[in-house]
């Protein structure tokens, strides 16, 4: 499993510049990360690459990202979208905690929240008050772009 994960990471280093080289102007900014306690990043990295590919500027916070770090970075870079990934049923609640921390700071409505990862669903997105759930990276990029264009209108 570890070998496959490393092979995927190495492959992504080759693909990333190719996918990002589409020459389109940035349509918005996003922060993306895997939530607190969770070290899975293959799917998150794919979502990041696909978003870059449709012209979104993406700041990747990595894995095991605290609520505070998501909030601070989103504010710091003037993000439009906050993207949260979770692969473990035990770390899914950290998605909820992160969104709640934005609510507590009175900043929830300032951002578009997108969530993903194998155990996550559209029902879960509704439950935690996320704006969008998408099942794969390609759809995530399209949905993010549409949401940004709608926000800009
Ligand atoms: C690779 C892997 C690992 C690697 C991770 C390496 C890495 N750099 O990511 C390693 C070996 C480190 C690992 C560790 C562990 N793992 Co693990 N792992 C997996 C595995 C095999 C594949 C996950 C993966 O990368 N899938 C491929 C990607 C492309 O899919 P994806 O992540 O779902 O992403 C897609 C979508 O979900 C979506 N997406 C993802 N993120 C986002 C974000 C946004 C915003 C959006 C819009 C979309 C989106 O787009 C992606 C592309 O289409 C899965 C089993 C499986 N078949 O899924 C288990 C699995 C997730 N792991 C599991 C477990 C239990 C663990 C460990 C706890 C094991 C242990 N006892 O130590 C640890 C936890 C470590 C931690 N604290 O996080 C369980 C989780 C069970 C559960 N119900 O919670 C699984 C399901 C295996 C199993 N069947 O038991 N794991």
Domain harbouring 132, CATH code = 3.40.50.280
Going from the C-alpha of 46 to that of each of 51, 56, 57, 137, 150, the distances in angstroms are 9, 14, 14, 6, 24
Which residue has the least CA distance to atom 54 on ligand 1? 87
- Given a cut of 70, whether residue 88 has pLDDT beyond it is yes
Interval between CA 107 and ligand 1 midpoint (Å): 29
Which residue has the least CA distance to atom 1 on ligand 1? 5
Distance CA 128, CA 51 (A): 23
Secondary structure tally for the chain: helices H, strands E: 6, 5
**Mean pLDDT score of the chain:** 91
pLDDT of residue 13: 78
pLDDT of residue 22: 62
Mean pLDDT of 47-60: 88
Strand ranges inside the chain, DSSP E: 28-34, 56-60, 81-85, 112-116, 132-133
- Given a cut of 60, whether residue 5 has pLDDT beyond it is no
Number of domains in the chain: 1
Beta bridge partners of 115: 84, 133
Q: Which of 7-21, 46-60, 98-112 has the lowest average pLDDT?
A: 7-21
Distance CA 20, CA 139 (A): 16
Alpha carbon 115 to its chain's center: 6
Pocket probe mutation, ligand 1, options 19, 87, 119, max atoms within 8 Å of Cβ: 87
Most confident range, picked from 2-6, 22-26, 146-150? 146-150
Mean pLDDT of 80-93: 98
Question: What element of type H or E holds 108?
Answer: none
Mean pLDDT of 79-101: 98
Give the residue numbers spanning the domain of 74.
2-21+28-152
pLDDT of residue 25: 66
Cβ of residue 80 lying under 6 Å from some atom of ligand 1: no
In DSSP notation, 6-39 reads HHHHHHHHHHHHHHHTT-PPP-EEEEEEEBTT--
Q: Are 80 and 148 in contact (CB under 8 A)?
A: yes
Which residue has the least CA distance to atom 84 on ligand 1? 88
Tokens at residue 100, please? 């709640």
């Amino acid at each position: 499993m570890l070998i496959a994960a490393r092979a995927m990471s190495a492959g992504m280093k080759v693909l990333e510049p190719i996918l990002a080289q589409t020459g389109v102007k940035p349509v918005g900014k996003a922060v993306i990360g895997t939530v607190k306690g969770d070290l899975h990043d293959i799917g998150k990295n794919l979502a990041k690459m696909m978003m870059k590919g449709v012209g979104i500027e993406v700041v990747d916070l990595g894995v095991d990202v605290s609520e505070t770090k998501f909030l601070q970075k989103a504010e710091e870079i003037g993000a439009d979208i906050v993207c949260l990934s979770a692969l473990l049923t035990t770390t899914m609640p950290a998605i909820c905690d992160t969104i709640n921390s934005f609510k507590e700071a009175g900043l929830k409505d300032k951002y578009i929240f997108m969530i993903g990862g194998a155990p996550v669903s559209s029902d879960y997105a509704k439950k935690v008050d996320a704006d969008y759930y998408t099942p794969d990276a390609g759809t995530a990029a399209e949905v993010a772009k549409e949401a940004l264009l709608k926000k800009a209108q």
